[in-house]
Amino acid sequence: MALAMVSLAQAQPLFTYGSKQVSKNEFKRAYLKNNDTSTSNKAADIRNYLELYTRFKLKVQAAYDLKLDTLLKQQEEVMNFRQQIEEPFLRDNAMMKKLVDEAEERGMKDIRLSHIFIPFKKEFVVNPYGLTPATDKDSAEAKNRIYEAYEKLKKGDDFGSVATAYSLDPSVQKNKGDLGFVTVFSLPYSLETIGYTLPLNGYSEPFRSDAGWHILKKTAERPAAGKVLARQILIGVDRNGSAEDKQKASAMADSIYKAIVAGASFEDMAKTFSYDISASQGGELPLIGVGDYEEAFEKAVFGLQKNGDITPPFETSMGYHIVKREGRLNYSNSSQTPEYTWKYMVEKDKRGLLPVKSFQKQCVAKTGMKKKPVDEKELFRYTDSFVVNNKKTYSAAIKENTVLIEFPTEKVTVNQWLEYVTVKSPERSIVAYKKFYNDFFLDMSMAYYRRNLEKYDPEFKAQFNEFMEGNMLFEVMERKVWNRSSSDTAALKKQYQANKAKYTWASSADAIFMNAPDEAVAGQARKTLVADPLNWRKIVETTDGKVMADSGRVEWTQIPGNTDLLKDGYTTPLAVNKEDNSVSFYHIVKLYPQASQKSFEDAKGQLINDYQAELEEKWIAELKKKYPVKVNASVLDQVIKELTR
């Protein structure tokens, strides 16, 4: 009996307004999102928020009554928001978490790998993107050769010697297959996984990729070096240049380095002398990670111990480099910058597609998709006729409206299949159609799930409704309250005359207010203002927007510092804003120590606010008559208990 009572309470709404109802869970979600639960989980706070939330729902209902949800602007904004938030709800988040955790674990160390690579086609090493697809014969030949190399390793032959003899990697003659240190995201995911799971000094069995066959060996590991933010000056040297050219480049690099050590600006020297594309940016490079550059460059860069350190000139195959360290970074899941989190890196990498593909397969069951029986041979013949000849050849079995897929509320016909094939542009063969037909079912189930996301995912529905209702609230408030209160001058003047005593100045002053990003800029602006207060606008014009300024009448309570010091011509000390470390000050033009009446124009801001409140209260009273609000006291008590635990 007690269990039944609990279940009944769970099912009952917290409150109703007219025929509409709001569940306990909807209210709790809104309360927890919009209140500081560490300080405001009191019964009185919850009851106050309930009043605010009922008013919110009444206003949204008024927006629906006005059909504001049908406005083109509203629909476009809602659709744009939907597209922005859909993606996290269309992937296997358990798999995504696993990939993020895996990346974080691997990111704790760098590994050194050696590699034997046999491509399907020998010309792959010089032209990896311009090849025709590999044939079965190509694959068999590459497989035979990689297994020959593997047998050599099993017999104990040196990995470097086997790599030199068998690998077709262009660099193998120089490095004997040694790739140097790599880290997470340096290699394709499949190669990275094999590399990180190998024991130290262990090598893999031959494995296949899209390009060919591989064997990897792990030769060393170390704590992760992270990434370095740096600037460089490059004095390029032609690889076919003479010894004299090389000597001149070396001498030039030495001269630049000495100038920098003597105090020359690294950025200016980079802009003037560097051969690198980064010269125009003062030599600033993208973040440098392990495996991004050749080993000599990485060794020099990662050898810099602290920010501001500069390398003496060093040589690589590109020429002579001078590098300045600007910062050091390690990715984390707690970074304040999203781009520096493991999650961002996984999403950016190709492995980020794996959770999407996994979820796509799950959508078949989630949507209840039913594949209708059809003569596939006849369907593909019909398809071929359409694709090749742009002609639909009808048959008894296949027509445009023949149903291929059934969902709970939709049917997918042959016509949609033809549209799909046209977009995908497969090869004109039954084999290709068969593959695309399998993809078709997955894509259609995913598309159906996407269109009906709010039916399948309560969290998505809550976010989507919250945005839509917020948008409608803004529109209806503009129409019912804000526009009326700011444009009805006659009503404002009437309110001013009837309540003049309410609109007065306390002790106040005409003042100039200035704000700057730091004390140095603010101090110089203050000095200039004190010397020539009449030209205060020039300070803004001559500081490239660093100093912001305004003038007007303010009450003494707004002016920081000791009000006893205020007088005409007084400039307050610099005051630091703790929130953003900006610095501000006031210059007093004229002091008004006594309270005084505000003019209509001075009081207009307050008048509009007061009139808005009056209009809103009248409107809410009308809405409550139209949609009576009834709160379920027992459910409210339950909510209060749950939120005040």
- Confidence at residue 261, expressed as pLDDT on a 0 to 100 scale: 95
Q: How far apart are the first and last CA of the chain?
A: 25
| Nearest-angstrom CA–CA distance, 171 and 169 | 6
Kindly write down the DSSP assignment for every residue of 462-530, as one continuous string: HHHHHHHHHHHHHHHHIIIIIHHHHH-HHHHHHHHHHTGGGSEE-SEEEEEEEEESSHHHHHHHHHHHH
Predicted TM-score (pTM) of the model is 0.75
Q: Which of 506, 544, 501, 502 is nearest to 525 (CA)?
A: 544
- Confidence at residue 130, expressed as pLDDT on a 0 to 100 scale: 57
**Inter-helix orientation angle 600-626/489-498, to 10°:** 100
| Nearest-angstrom CA–CA distance, 204 and 200 | 11
- Confidence at residue 426, expressed as pLDDT on a 0 to 100 scale: 59
- Confidence at residue 129, expressed as pLDDT on a 0 to 100 scale: 62
| Nearest-angstrom CA–CA distance, 417 and 218 | 48
- Confidence at residue 36, expressed as pLDDT on a 0 to 100 scale: 79
Tokens of 608: 């509009």
What Å distances lie between residue 94 and 46, 99, 455, CA to CA? 34, 9, 21
- Confidence at residue 123, expressed as pLDDT on a 0 to 100 scale: 74
| Nearest-angstrom CA–CA distance, 623 and 55 | 9
Low-confidence ranges of the chain (pLDDT < 50): 1-8
Domains annotated on the chain, with CATH:
108-223 (3.10.50.40), 227-330 (3.10.50.40), 370-406+410-451 (no CATH), 504-595 (3.10.50)
* HEC profile of 588-624: EEEEECCCEECCHHHHHHHHHHHHHHHHHHHHHHHHH
Q: Which of 93, 94, 90, 89 is nearest to 462 (CA)?
A: 89
| Nearest-angstrom CA–CA distance, 400 and 382 | 10
* Contact between 314 and 320 (Cβ < 8 Å): yes
* Contact between 168 and 122 (Cβ < 8 Å): yes
pLDDT one-digit tens code per residue, 96-112: 999 999 999 999 999 99
- Confidence at residue 381, expressed as pLDDT on a 0 to 100 scale: 87
Kindly write down the DSSP assignment for every residue of 298-359, as one continuous string: HHHHHT--STT-BPPPEEETTEEEEEEEEEEE--BSS-SSGGGBHHHHHHHSGGGGHHHHHH
pLDDT one-digit tens code per residue, 398-457: 998 999 999 999 999 999 999 999 888 756 666 678 888 999 999 999 999 999 999 999
Q: What share of the chain is helix, strand, coil (3-state, %, to 5)?
A: 55, 15, 30
- Confidence at residue 40, expressed as pLDDT on a 0 to 100 scale: 62
Task: Give the alpha-carbon dihedral of 168, 172, 176, 178, to 10 degrees.
Answer: -100
**Residue 246 CA, distance from chain mean position:** 46
